[in-house]
Amino acid sequence: MDVIAKPALMILVFGLLVVFHEFGHYIVARWMGVKVLAFSIGFGPAMVTWRRGDTEYSIRWLPLGGFVRMLGDDPMAPLDDEIARDPMAFQNKPVWRRSLIIAAGPLFNFVLPLLLLFGSALVYEDELVSTRVGTVVPGGPAAEMGLQAGDRILRVGDVEVESFDDLIREISKRAGQPTPVTFRRDGREDTRNVTPREVVNAAAAEVGLVERVGRILLYPGEMVPTVAVQEGSRAFAAGLRSGDRLRSVAGKRVQSWGDVERALADSRNGNGISIDYTPLDLHGPVPRTAWRESFRNAHKGSEKTISLVSDDAKTTAGSLGLRPGYRLVGPVVQGSQEDTQVGLVPGDELLQLDGTDLGSLEDAIERQKKPLEAVLVEPSYRSWSPEQRQEHLQTAAAPHTLLVRHMIRDAERTRLQALAAGTVQATTGAEKWLVSQPQAAQLVERGWWDRPVPWRLKVQLDKNDRPDLALDLASLMDRNSPEMVRNPRPVRHAVQVAGEEFVRGATVILVTVRELFRGNVPVKEVGGVVRMAQMTSEAADHGVEAVVRLVAWLSINLGILNLLPIPLVDGGHLLFLAIEGVRRRPASLRTRQIAAYAGLTFLGILFLVVMKNDLQRVLMQ
């Protein structure tokens, strides 16, 4: 989205939130028989004004909110005689009617996200990812129970699953619990037990929100045939290297590993098997901004062709020395730990961690983060300062030893030979390791080596003083688009999606507000218009659905904040109405005025804090 459209989108988002909130007050006031004098979007001088009936409508120059003014709605001022006799005056209505009018604004802020999320799911999710298995990660629970690519999952326990979202939802509930899973393979149904692995989602650990979910490590998209090559195999001798991507096998175009196996099964043993492939075209670390482009262009070069002969009774990828590249490293971010500390390059294969074989890159990341998750789930974590969180996490990040296999590609052979001969100087960690080996020349000659390297996750505080645990380790493996099926129950699905997202958003916001007042969330987290603009811009880069989700969360946030018992906001008005309902008479004018001054002071301080934080965000960009 361009630089002109993003500010316009920000204004639209903010305007929608304000309009819906004020419309709640307006429509319920009219319903309750209260005269509405003014309905305004924005503050300051009027830009556009028009009148209809008793109400003046206006759009004002400062888009920082809005207001609805009703006859006799100022609780801080005494009613004059004329208003006191008017049955359409706000203050002359029963407490319950006034409460409904005041509560309507925040309540409409809760209605808006439900409508948006429901509509988004209805429009954008008319097709769903099916339950057909595409990729089974080695070493995961799905692999241990024997699931294979092409299987179609029918039930989890006694619950029928119609989409991959249903599957995730049901598996997530069963972390650590043996669960029967029914699937169909080759027209026959089978049921086997699986125990979902517990995964800790502690992205909101600062406010005490820690989610434990079950995962069985499978994906709906089928793996593309990017290969890991066995050293000394027929494929290795023919010139294939780990990270290359197969394009055709035995004259048949292949787009997945299933295609490769089927093409080999149909080939004739003893004859040469023709393989077309695209070499990996990544050579070193890339800037973070270029990572996605590098990944997309990793196999854009010209195709090469080799011929392999198999003497086995049945030719398979394994008999030729080929296996899926589950453990292959993708583009490496320049300056990352994987670059400077470990010295990884694209196409490297991670074999072992601390002497134990790795099944996949996911396995390596999970085992690296496990001790850190134990710190994040500590109940006292939320009360620690950012520096204490960093210190505890860094202590938990124990050093590991990673065994990395590197296969030499033609583009680097000349330099490596010069390094082994001592005619050029080593610059990277891998090069320095190579020249330290007594048999460096022999390693280069044979075309591969296994290098043990220390690996310890470095924990840093980001610009928001949150410990950054993100790894830049990314897989070279890509997956094809998953199979899609028609949404069998679109309305029910949309209701479910809207409800789940609303509950998730409301929970995070409520807990964050609570921890903010307790002092466990730094005040610098509070943001205003600038923060909203940043979030809107980021969401716009990810499409319409991301913008809808952001508007939903902002609307929930606005509704919750307006219900806080602070004078001058809706929650403060409701508090005084509750007092009036109990005492059978309103609080004294003096009490209401003091409360108003206190509320005004609080809101003024909050405004200054928000402005300070927003200015810092602008200066830090």
- CATH number for the domain that contains residue 270: 2.30.42.10
Q: Is there a single domain that holds both residue 275 and residue 402?
A: yes
Range with the largest mean pLDDT of 241-245, 332-336, 340-344: 241-245
Long-range Cβ contact pairs of 35-42 (< 8 A, separation 24 or more): 35/70, 35/71, 35/86, 35/88, 35/89, 36/68, 36/69, 36/70, 36/71, 37/69, 37/70, 37/71, 38/67, 38/68, 38/69, 39/68, 40/66, 40/67, 40/68, 40/69, 41/15, 41/66, 42/18, 42/66
CB 47 within 8 A of CB 27: no
Tell me how crowded residue 302 is: count the other CB atoms within 10 A of its CB.
Answer: 7
Which tokens sit at 297? 């262009």
d(CA 347, CA 350): 10
Cα–Cα distances (Å) from 160 to 165, 208, 220, 363, in that order, read 12, 33, 17, 29
CA 18 to chain centre: 27
Q: Is residue 495 part of a domain?
A: no
Per-residue pLDDT for 446 more than 50? yes
**Residue 524 forms part of a structural domain:** no
pLDDT at position 189 over 70: yes
For residue 186, is it within any domain? yes
Q: Does pLDDT of 270 surpass 60?
A: no
In order, the DSSP letters of 574-603 are HHHHHHHHHHSSPPPHHHHHHHHHHHHHHH
Give residue 314's pLDDT: 76
Averaged pLDDT, 272-288: 89
Q: Is the domain of 213 the same as that of 306? A: no
Kindly tell me if the per-residue pLDDT of 65 is higher than 70: yes
pLDDT beyond 80 at 281? yes
441, 492 in Cβ contact below 8 A?
no
Residue 392 sits at φ, ψ, to 5 deg, of: -65, -40
Using DSSP's 3-state secondary structure scheme, residue 88 falls into coil
Q: Is the pLDDT of residue 272 over 50?
A: yes
* Maximum mean pLDDT: which of 67-71, 275-279, 317-321: 275-279
Q: Assess contact for 108 and 565: CB atoms under 8 A.
A: no
Average pLDDT over residues 310-334: 86
Structure tokens at 391: 């210190």
Integer Cα distance of 621 and 618 in angstroms: 5
Beta-carbon contacts of residue 344 (< 8 Å; ≥ 6 apart): 329, 332, 338, 404, 473
Residue 608 in domain: yes
Mean pLDDT to the nearest integer, 433-438: 90
Confidence grade of residue 404 (pLDDT, cut at 50, 70, 90): very high
State whether 184 and 332 are in the same domain: no
- Residue 219: other Cβ atoms inside 10 A: 18
Q: Are residues 210 and 294 in the same domain?
A: no
Which pLDDT belongs to residue 106?
A: 92
Distance CA 245, CA 458 (A): 33
Write a three-state SS string for 320-361. HCEEECCCEECCCECCCHHHHCCCCCCCCEEEEECCEECCCH
pLDDT at position 610 = 65
How many CB atoms neighbour CB 514 within 10 A? 13
Closest CA to 574 of 202, 105, 182, 130: 105
SS3 of 409, please? coil
In whole angstroms, give the CA distance from residue 472 to residue 430: 18
Helical axes 544-562 vs 95-124, angle rounded to 10°: 170
Lowest mean pLDDT among 61-70, 131-140, 490-499: 61-70
Is position 162 annotated as part of the catalytic site? no
Q: In sequence order, what are the residues at sequence separation of 6 or more whose Cβ sits closer than 8 angstroms to the Cβ of residue 235?
A: 227, 229, 306, 308, 320, 321, 322
Stretch 389-407: mean pLDDT, rounded?
89
**Would you state the pLDDT for residue 308?**
85
Q: What mean pLDDT comes out for the span 348-370?
A: 91
Q: Which has the minimum average pLDDT: 454-468, 521-535, 580-594? A: 521-535
d(CA 330, CA 471): 13
Residue type, 186: D
Instruction: Give how far Cα 303 sits from Cα of 247, 280, 284, 509, Å.
Output: 8, 11, 21, 52
Q: Report the range of poorest mean pLDDT among 152-161, 184-193, 201-210, 317-326.
A: 201-210
Q: Judge if 137 and 120 occupy the same domain.
A: no
| pLDDT over 90 at 468, yes or no | no
- Catalytic option among 22, 362, 431, 515: 22
Q: pLDDT value at position 464? A: 66
Query: Are residues 49 and 98 both part of a single domain?
Result: yes
Do 176 and 242 lie in one domain? The reply is: no
Is residue 2 scored above 70 in pLDDT? no
Residue 335 lies in a domain: yes
pLDDT digits 0-9 by tens, 523-554: 666 666 666 766 777 777 777 888 888 888 88
Share of the chain above pLDDT 70, in %: 90
CA-to-CA distance for 344 and 350, rounded, in angstroms? 10
For residue 475, the 8-state DSSP code is: B
Is residue 35 in a domain?
A: yes
Q: Which residue has the tokens 């996949």?
A: 360
Alpha carbons 242 and 262: distance in angstroms, whole number: 21
Backbone angles phi and psi of 309, in degrees to 5: -110, 130
Domain-terminating residue out of 195, 219, 243: 219
Residue 428: name the closest of 443, 412, 411 by CA: 412
The pTM assigned to this predicted structure is 0.80
Read off φ and ψ for residue 606, nearest 5 degrees: -60, -40
H or E, element range at 185: strand 179-185
CA 431 to CA 437: how far, in whole Å? 10
Per-residue pLDDT reduced to its tens digit, 19-35: 889 899 999 999 999 99
Amino acid letter, residue 371: P
Q: Residue 599 and residue 12: Cα distance in Å, rounded?
A: 29
Same domain, 346 and 458: yes
**Quick one: 397 and 313 in the same domain?**
yes
Instruction: Report pLDDT for 54.
Output: 87
Indicate the residue type of 181: V
Nearest to 463 by CA among 533, 546, 522: 522
Range of the domain at 404: 227-408+447-468
Do 206 and 351 lie in a common domain?
A: no
What is the overall mean pLDDT for the chain? 86
CB hemisphere CA count around 415 (13 angstroms): 13
Any domain includes 484: no
Q: What is residue 7's predicted lDDT score, i.e. its pLDDT? A: 67
How many beta carbons lie within 10 A of that of residue 589, not counting itself?
12
Quickly state the pLDDT bin for 3 (edges 50, 70, 90). Answer: very low
Give the per-residue pLDDT at 207. Answer: 73
Does residue 542 lie in a domain region? no
Q: Which one-letter DSSP state was computed for residue 474?
A: -
Q: Tell whether 146 and 262 lie within a shared domain.
A: no
CB 387 within 8 A of CB 465: no
How many domains does the chain divide into?
3
**Whether the Cβ atoms of residue 282 and residue 298 lie closer than 8 Å to each other:** yes
- Structure token pair of residue 169: 């939802």
Q: Do 249 and 350 share a structural domain?
A: yes
- What's the confidence (pLDDT) of residue 418? 92
Calculate mean pLDDT across residues 44-52.
89
